[in-house]
Amino acid sequence: MQKSSITIGSVFALCHLALVAPFVPLANILPAGLGALAMTSMALSLLLAARWRLVDRLMGGPDRSYVAHRWLGFFALVGALGHWALASSVGAGVLPVLVTVSRVKPFEGGVDVTLTSETPLPPYRPGQFATLANNHARAEAHPFTIAGGDEWSRRFVIRAAGDWTNAFVESVGKGDRFRLSGGFGRFLPQVHAERKEQLWVAGGVGITPFLAALERMKPDDGARVTLIYCIRSRASAGALETVEKQAARLPQLALTVVNEADGNLLIASRLADVVREMSSNAEVYLCGPEGLKVLVEAAWETLGMAGTIHSEGFDFRGAYSLADLIYIGRPVVEIARSWAKAKVSVVNAPGGS
């Protein structure tokens, strides 16, 4: 093997690490770089496999194209396997980050848990999520918003909403061990003193990103933060006590708890009254069910607010929300309805059969 080939191959591989470094957290540079290496190598392999004369000429002949194709195949395999091992939920067991459950606080329909690690955890920003998986190599990872924690711990407020979460809520106990990923996502409520005025709206377990934000926030005289927390009942709101304590600690926080069990609902007129008191460039951070999102977005648009609405995906299991499916399916329904109406008209017409 020629020394020049090794040098070129090494530079080619390292370039992918440099390419992704500015865009991903430090802990993700290696898996992201390996993924980029696999994708680039596969793309170039297809280009060489086409055997275009121009490409062969640029490579210095078909023999050199063949050698390059073989090297690219090697890089594609190594990159794909390396990315799978370091980033995928299936292969994450190769280098597991184990945490131990140190605190369990059940509530109606869910559980508030804290996991503690024996080694320092990757940093996260309030509003980001992490993934949890059982402690075996082929365990599927599930995403949950981080509700708080420090360098050694993570808090999650998890509601039973499927097979995995049902089993987790029913069986989790102190001493259980899970695999835990770092922080991901761009839903980042502003917690610094130089923030804009903000409206935070949470529905049920959608309070979790705001718990982490409140934990990081310090008392100050900066712009007001209005938090509307919609719950079904106090018993089903696993984090209500924490929210109320934070509201007492932070003078800049205006808390409104909307308790459905008391007949206290967030209706459009009530929300509009809150929004009218805010500056026009205030921003919204919204995490909750689809109906709550629609209500807030409608009020924001109707009152001509200029600030951005930042929305958190509440259902990680579906690629599309209910509103998306309605929007996509409406034309199909209208076509079917028109076709059925036309068919009925033909049948009922004089001489029709």
Question: Nearest 5°: phi and psi at 180?
Answer: -130, 130
Task: Count structural domains, the chain.
Answer: 3
Does residue 294 carry a pLDDT above 70?
Answer: yes
Tell me what the mean pLDDT of segment 138-146 comes to.
84
- Residue 82 domain-assigned (yes or no): yes
Considering the entire predicted model, what is its pTM? 0.66
**164 and 220 together in one domain:** no
Kindly give, in sequence order, each residue whose CB lies less than 8 Å from that of residue 170, ignoring residues fewer than 6 positions away.
160
Q: Which has the closest alpha carbon to 278: 197, 173, 194, 203?
A: 197
Does residue 190 carry a pLDDT above 80?
Answer: yes
User: Facing residues of 225 across strands?
Assistant: 198, 253
**283 and 300 together in one domain:** yes
pLDDT band at residue 343, thresholds of 50, 70 and 90? low
- Residue 336 domain-assigned (yes or no): no
Report yes or no: 288 and 201 within 8 Å, Cβ to Cβ. yes
Does residue 353 carry a pLDDT above 50?
Answer: no
**158 and 216 together in one domain:** no
**176 and 101 together in one domain:** yes
**12 and 65 together in one domain:** yes
Q: Which has the closest alpha carbon to 79: 118, 129, 43?
A: 43
- Residue 192 domain-assigned (yes or no): no
Residue numbers of the domain that contains 34:
3-87
Share of the chain above pLDDT 70, in %: 82
Structure tokens at 164: 């995995």
- Residue 193 domain-assigned (yes or no): no
**210 and 300 together in one domain:** yes
The CA angle 294-247-204, to the nearest 5 degrees, is: 35
Structure tokens at 266: 């967030």
CATH at 120: 2.40.30.10
Q: Which of 70, 87, 104 is the last residue of a domain?
A: 87
Does residue 17 carry a pLDDT above 50?
Answer: yes
**173 and 268 together in one domain:** no
**82 and 102 together in one domain:** no
> Helices 3-20 and 62-87, interaxial angle, to 10°?
40
| Tens-place pLDDT, residues 170-182 | 999 999 999 888 7
Q: Which of 125, 145, 180 is the last residue of a domain?
A: 180
CB count within 10 Å of CB 236 equals 17
Does residue 106 carry a pLDDT above 50?
Answer: yes
Among 34-43, 67-76, 80-89, which is the least confidently predicted range? 80-89
